[in-house]
Every structure is written in structure tokens, then in C-alpha cells.
Structure 1
Amino acid sequence: MRVTQSMLYRQTLATLNERQGNIMRAQDQIASGTRLNQAKDDPVAMSRVMRNDDMLTTLKRHDANIASLSSRLSFVEAELGSVSDLMHRARELMISGANATQSAESRSTLALEMRALGEDLLRIANGQDGQGRYLFAGQDDATTPFVEAAGVNYQGATSARQIAVDQSATMANGLTGDAVFLNGPAGDLFAMFDELADTLEMPTPDAASTAQRNADMDAGLTRVDDALNHVLDLRTGLGVDLQRLDTAAERISALQISVQTDSSGLRDTDVAQTLSQLAQELTALEAAQKTFTRIQSLSLFNYL
């Protein structure tokens, strides 16, 4: 096929337009700092960056869940620590009350403090986190879990809210009040404090009543120890959960860095490389312009 001047003209003009487009694209990449300004710049890379962006959104949500959950479980653990303190004090009162040198009046004073410990326990059981949500109400964390009505009654949920901390893992956001304060090996802890106070106040007019009180004191101490061990087990479980959350947070942080690095390599402009390409395109454009000028001159000469 014979190459005509008009064909050379069109081909050279197309080359000029292509070079100018490449130059503009390189300049835009340098100015914006990204080589993926639109999908057509690199469809495969753009698709991968979009998947990475979706993953980062999910990781950010899980990271926020972990931070919130860690804070809440730390509140729960601190409150259980306060429960342990109450139990230790109750144990001290029972040991003191078992001393044969105690008078009825001094035991009555011990009983008053024991009942006060029960009131403190109720305040702890109705404790809230930093957002005003009840710690021991389970999923119904907007509801006051324990109310006094012929004893202390639980009106929270029997299961805790599950929070996503990974693509395939969830974790409970706390403990339910019934599991902590009512259904442990020591039974109803609120009733326990009243019963321990009753034991301290038990009159002992004779040897038989004294023996009964001593037996009840021993049983009360055993019950307090059961409660202490129960709370210790719960605190140990929370400690394990908090460690798991720390590990999950570290894993998410590492994944975020990895995904961000991958996206950066795909999206960000390699300035040195792009400057080199720009210089090459400018040189090629200059050559194409000279060729185009010669073709135009030759075409004009043919008309003379």
C-alpha cells in the first residue's frame, strides 16, 4: 500500500495528540501525587485499590469495636475488683464475729457494717460504663439491672451483646448480672450479706444457740469464700478476653499498615520515574512536532 502525504499527516497528528496526552497525564500525576486519577489509568490496579479501601473500612470498624469493648470490659473488671474487696471485708467481719470475746453489742455493730456492704454491692451491680450503659444488664444495657422489691430482683437480659472484633469472631461486651450476683456457687449475694448479718446478730442465751451460731458462722465463711472464688474466676476470664482484644488490635494495626502500603504502591506517583517518563515524552513530542512541520512544508510545496 502506497503511503500518501495525507496518511503521514494524519499519523503524525495522531502521534502529536498521543504525546500531548501522555505529557498532561504525567503532569497531573506529579501534581496530584497519584497515578490513579480515574479507572482507565490502570483498571486492574484501581480494582485492587478499591478492594483495599473496603478492607480498610472494615478494619477501622473492628478497631473501633475493640477499643470500645476494651474500655467496657475494663470497667467490668474494675467493678468486680470492688466486689472482691467487699467479700474480703465480709470475711474479716465474720472472723471477727466468731471470736468468743465479742459481745452482743459489738456483733451488732459488725452486722450493721455487713448490711452496709450489701448496699454497696447493689450500687456496684447497677454500675455504668463511661457512656452511661449498665455494666451488668446484658443486652438490655439501658435498663437498671437490679431493683429492690421483696429482696433484690434482676430485670436485665440473660445474655450479653456480641460485638464483632474480626471478620469471623465476636466477643461478649460484658457479664450478665444474674451470672455474677445470683447464680454463682454462693447463690444470691445480696441475700447472703443479709443472712451473714443475721448470723452476727443471732442471740446466744445458751450453749445450744451458741453452737448453732458458730456452725452458721462457719457456713457463712465458706459461702463468702465460694463467692470470692467465683468473682476471681470471672476476673480471670475478663483478663483473658482483654488480652485477646489487645492481640486483635495489634493484628488489625499490622493489617492496616500492610493494606495501606499496598494501596500506596498502586496509587501513589513514583515521582522520579514519572519525571523521567515526562522528559522522554517531551523529547518525543519535540521530534513529532519537527516531523509534522516538515510534512506541512512538503504539502505546501506541492501546491506551488
Structure 2
Amino acid sequence: MAMRVSTLNIYNLGINSVRQNQADLVKLQQQISSGRRVLTPADDPVASAQILQVDQASALNEQFKINGQNARSAVSLSEGYLQSVVTLLQNVKTQAVYAGNPTLTQSDRAALLSELDERYKELLGLANAQDGNGQYLYSGYQGNTKPFDEVAPGQVVYLGDQGQRQIQISPSRALPVSESGRDVYQRIKEGNGTFVGKAPSPNTNTGNGIIAPGTVKDLAKWQAAAVKDYTIVFEVNTAVTPNVTRYDITETATGNSVFTGAPPVAGAFARVFQPNAAIDFKRLPGDPGAVAFDVGIQTSIDGAPATGDKFTIKASQDKQIFDTMTQFANLLKLQKDTPANAAFYQNELGQVMQSVENAITNITSVQADIGTRQKEVESVRDTLDDLQLQYATQKRDLGDLDYAQAISDFALTQTFLEAAQKTFLQTQKLSLFEQI
């Protein structure tokens, strides 16, 4: 049985065919003009979802790249300030060497003191440096807290903490972009970094002995030693010609000789002293007593110590650079009116130079760590660039248009549209009114 098709249905079918081909043609035009195959989620739901994921990953990747640039700027700024500190401390060390010139007058040292005061203020300013956002570089986590404050002339306290602010430069890496002022300016070891030899302060020695920085012969023995606080005590026998100077090594806390376990006996000190000869902190052939003793260190003393003169040997402690600057300033005010005071001056000056050198070493170590972080930022940036290229390729594969196919489809759809339009025109002539 034949199906009855009304004139209205014929018109609707023709119009719908034209409209559909027009819509297809417009969509192809949009795809060709934009270069994109997926214009709406309906075009390809699976690819559209994947493109959204790629876009989100790409945006996050771009943010990591921006973070990396910010991190590099921050650590580069800090490194620049630290280089200024190193230069300043090198100048201070030069001043200390010059201060050791025995021909300097009190007026010369007063001029040095004035210059040192300016260096001290400059150092305090560098330690309180800020970045472009007003955040302090050396206050740890507390970027809004001024790290170093002079609570009294020459007395500086640290108000920050021991943390390091970080910036996320990749999904798995948060890079430190600030330093703890404690690590940079305060955790600086005295002496040679393991132990420090000192003359008593205030000065009670009457001779002109000057102690050397000393060396570590066996670090494991020093670290294992139960006692790390000793005193070298001197006695001069004036009953013989030439005079003979002898010394003993005692545990500072007890005053007992490390060789005999008892206080040194007047007239029978353990060893004969020779200027600049090694003073070994271990039992040697000829030492009195039988107590085992070897803490793995060695020092020497120049000059001529007097009876009762003492020098202490202690484990190195942390000393902030501001205290060293204050020590240097106080030293420049000292009168060198006697050989003993002149020797004390040289002993203290040696400590200052060693501490400044240790501070330079510490800060250059921090600079080296910053340099490592700068290289890491560059490496991560290269990785992010490669990843961004992969995202772009993936997105292109998912959503970009095949121009050859699209142009072919456009031509074909255009043909379909023209055919539909002609067919519709012919359909209009099928009305019975056309036959009347």
C-alpha cells in the first residue's frame, strides 16, 4: 500500500534538508577559519574532555614556569647581597692585617676604628636586606620581621627563625628562596673550626706569648674525646742560665695535669717549651705519669710566656660576625703600652682575622648552595618547556583540523546544499495549483 505524502510534508522535508546542509556548511566554515576540529563538546565528547585536561595541565605548567622565574629572581637577589657581604668582609680582613702593623699610632688606629664603624653599619644593613615586595631576605619564614636588631651598641640579636620560604617550581619540587639569618651570619665557628686557642681576656698574662690557630691531626680522636677544654700553663726557671721555660697541659675544669691526673708540681712541669715548636695534645715519650692522653690536635706558641701565663684550648663555638666586628672595634681602642698588652693585642687580632675568614667561608658556602638552586631552576624550566611542547602537540592531535579533509567536506557539503536547493525549487512545482 502506497504511503500518502502531503504537500506540507514535502515542503518541510525540502526545507529541513536545505537547513541541515547550510548548518553543516557553516560549521565547516568555522572549523576552517579557526583551524580547530572540536568547536563544542558535542563535536567530539571524548576529545573535548581530553582537551580540557590538557588545557588545565598546560595552565598549571605555565604557572610553574612563572614561579620558577620568581624563584630565580629571589635567589639571584640574595646571592647579590651575599656577594656584597663577602666583599665587605674581605675589606675588614685587610683592615685587620693592617691593624697588626706595629708602627701604627693610636691616631692611625682611631681612623681604622672610624672606618670599621661604617663597615659595621653597612653589614647590618645588608643583613636586613629586603626584596622588591618588602620581604626580608634573611629572616627565615618570617618575611615581615626585621631579622637583626642592635639592642645595644655592638650587641645584635636575631629575631627571625631557622626556616626557608619556598616557591613551588614543579609538581614535586618546592625551591627555597630565602635564608635563615642564623645560618648566614651567626653559625660561624671560632678558631680553626674545630678548636680555638685563646689568651685570657681580660689579659692576665705578663709574657708576650702568641698562640697559633692550631691544626687537627686526628678529627675522630678529637670528636671522641670526653674533655675538650684544656689550659696550657707555663713556668719559667730563672735559677738557671739561660732560663728554661716549661709547660703543662691541664683539664680546665679540674686543674689536673692530663699526664699525671694531679695538679702540676712547681719546678717539675711536664715539658720544655720552645717558641713555635709543636705542642701535641697527646702523650709523648718522656712525659711524666702514665695517664693515656691523645685528643688528636696540635698547636704552637710564639714569643716568651712568663710564669703563670695561660692559654686555653676549647671546642669551637658559634660566633656571629657582628660580635667579631665589635671585638675588632674594642681591640683598636686597646693601649699597647707593655709587651704583654702588645701580645694580647696580637692574640685577639689573630682571633678576629680567623673569625672573619670563617665568616667568608660560611657565606661563600651559602652562595654555592644558591648557585645550585639557580641551576636547578634552569633545569626544571627546560623540563617544563619540553612538557609544554608535549601538551601543545597533544592538544593539536586531539583538536586541530585536517584542512585537506575539511576543504573536501566543504566542497561536498556545498554541492549537497546546491542540490537540495534545486530539488526544493522543483518540489514547489508539484502543487495542483500549478496545473490549473
Structure 2 equivalent of residue 37 of structure 1: 39
Task: Give the equivalent residue in structure 2 for 1:98.
Answer: 100
SS of residue paired to 2:170: coil
| Aligned mates of 1:40, 1:157 — CA distance in 2 | 56
**Which one-letter code corresponds to 1:157 in the other structure?**
D
Aligned residues: 302
Moved more, 138-147 or 106-115: 106-115
Aligned match of 1:252 in 360, 384, 389? 384
CA contact (8 A) 2:166 2:178 kept: no
Of 136, 139, 153, which residue of structure 1 is paired with 2:138? 136
Task: Say if 1:137 and 1:300 are closer, same or farther in 2 by CA, change over 3 A.
Answer: farther
Does the aligned pair in 2 maintain the 1:94–1:200 contact within 8 Å?
no
Of stretches 12-21 and 241-250 in structure 1, the one that deviates more from structure 2 is 12-21
The match for 1:166 is 170
**Larger CA deviation: 144-153 vs 28-37:** 28-37
Deviation at 1:3, TM superposition (A): 8.1
Instruction: State the distance in 1 between where 2:107 and 2:353 align.
Output: 21
1:100 CA drift (Å): 1.7
Partner of 1:165: helix, strand, or coil? strand
- 1:148 match: 150
Q: For the residues of structure 2 that align with 1:253 and 1:238, how far apart are their CA atoms?
A: 23
Q: Deviations over 1:55-112 (max 9, x none)?
A: 1221122112111111111110011001101110111011111122222221222222
Runs ≥4 in structure 1, deviation > 4 angstroms? Answer: 2-18, 287-301
Hey, what does 1:88 align to over in structure 2? 90
2:188·2:355 contact (CA, 8 Å) conserved in 1?
no
Deviates more, 1:255-264 or 1:168-177: 255-264
Flag the structure with higher helix content. 1
Partner of 1:70: 72
- How far, CA to CA, are the matches of 1:272 and 1:130 in structure 2? 53
Map of 1:243 onto structure 2: 375
Decide whether the 8 Å contact of 1:160 with 1:172 is kept in 2: yes
Offset of 1:141 from its aligned partner? Answer: 1.1
The residue that corresponds to 1:182 in the other structure is 186
Q: What TM-score do you get using the length of structure 2 for normalisation?
A: 0.63
- Structure 1 vs Structure 2: percent identity of aligned residues? 27
- Check if 1:284 corresponds to 2:288: no
Deviation at 1:128, TM superposition (A): 1.1
The CA distance in 2 between the partners of 1:247 and 1:109, in whole Å, is 49
1:114–1:194 CA contact under 8 A, matched in 2 = no
Structure 2, unpaired ranges of 5+: 191-318
How far apart are 1:263 and its partner, in Å? Answer: 2.0
Distance in structure 2 (CA, Å) of the matches to 1:22 and 1:287? 14
- Which amino acid is the alignment partner of residue 382 of structure 2? E
Give the drift of 1:297.
Answer: 6.8
Greater Rg over alpha carbons, structure: 2
Contact 1:5 1:299 in 2 (8 A): no
2:195 maps to 1:193:
no
What are the ranges of 5 or more consecutive residues in structure 1 without an aligned counterpart?
A: none
Report Cα offsets for 1:223-279 as digits up to 9, x if no partner: 111111001101111111111112222222232233123323433444443222100
RMSD of equivalent CA atoms: 2.8
Looking at structure 1, the residues matched to 404 and 50 of structure 2 have their Cα atoms a distance apart, in angstroms, of 24
Between the two structures, name the one with larger relative contact order (CA 8 Å, sep ≥ 6): 1
Q: 1:61 aligns with which of 53, 63, 74?
A: 63
Q: Retained in 1: the 8 A contact 2:14–2:420?
A: yes
> Is 1:275 the equivalent of 2:277?
no
Q: 1:127, 1:134 within 8 Å by CA — same for their partners in 2?
A: yes
Specify the SS of the correspondent of 2:71. helix
* Correspondent of 1:215 among 336, 347, 353: 347
Per-residue deviation, 1:37? 2.0
Q: 2:109 is aligned with what amino acid?
A: R
Match of 2:53 in 1: 51
SS for the counterpart of 2:164 is: coil
Q: CA deviation at 1:281?
A: 1.6
Question: C-alpha offsets along residues 195-214 of structure 1, whole Å, 9 cap, x if unaligned?
Answer: 01222332111111111111
Change (3 A) 1:3 1:111: farther
Tell me, yes or no, if the aligned pair for 1:133 and 1:142 is still in contact at 8 Å: yes
More strand by percentage: 2
Report which stretch shifted further, 268-277 or 127-136.
Answer: 268-277
What corresponds to 2:334 in structure 1? Answer: 202
TM-score by length of 1: 0.88
Question: Residue deviations 1:111-147, cap 9 Å, x none?
Answer: 2222321111100011111222211122211221111
